Amino acid sequence: MKPIKKFLPLSCPSCASPLKVTSLACEACDTTVSGSFELPLLARLPADDLQFVIDFVKSSGSLKVMAQQLGLSYPTVRNRLDDIIANIETIEKNIKASR
């Protein structure tokens, strides 16, 4: 059977509120830690946004290099970054509002 690629769910499927981590497990010794842990900001980005951020850092923050690697125009990549910046600002506001 082909392994299923699973994505970390970021919001509640029932009410759409952000999810927290309440359990972590060590696969080596089967220890489980439970509590209420906030996801780090970058982990709250959708998987494709997070991959863009990783690629951006690995290209030393060069949108020109990113555009070449993705086969997209510079303005397209610039718009994509602006969307991610807006997304990060919204997440930061939500984190502040929940404290």
- Interface residues with Zn ion (CB under 5 A) are 26, 28-29, 31
Closest separation in Å from C-beta 31 to Zn ion: 5
* Residue 61 phi, psi (nearest 5): 70, 25
Cβ count within 10 A of residue 44: 22
The tokens for 15 are 């009410």
Closest separation in Å from C-beta 51 to Zn ion: 29
Name every residue whose Cβ is closer than 8 Å to that of residue 24 and which is 6 or more positions away in sequence.
32, 33, 34, 37
Angle value at C-alpha 30, between 24 and 33, nearest 5 degrees: 30
Angle value at C-alpha 22, between 86 and 18, nearest 5 degrees: 25
Closest separation in Å from C-beta 32 to Zn ion: 10
CB of 16 or CB of 29, closer to Zn ion? 29
CB of 1 or CB of 30, closer to Zn ion? 30
CB of 1 or CB of 29, closer to Zn ion? 29
CB of 15 or CB of 28, closer to Zn ion? 28
Closest separation in Å from C-beta 21 to Zn ion: 17
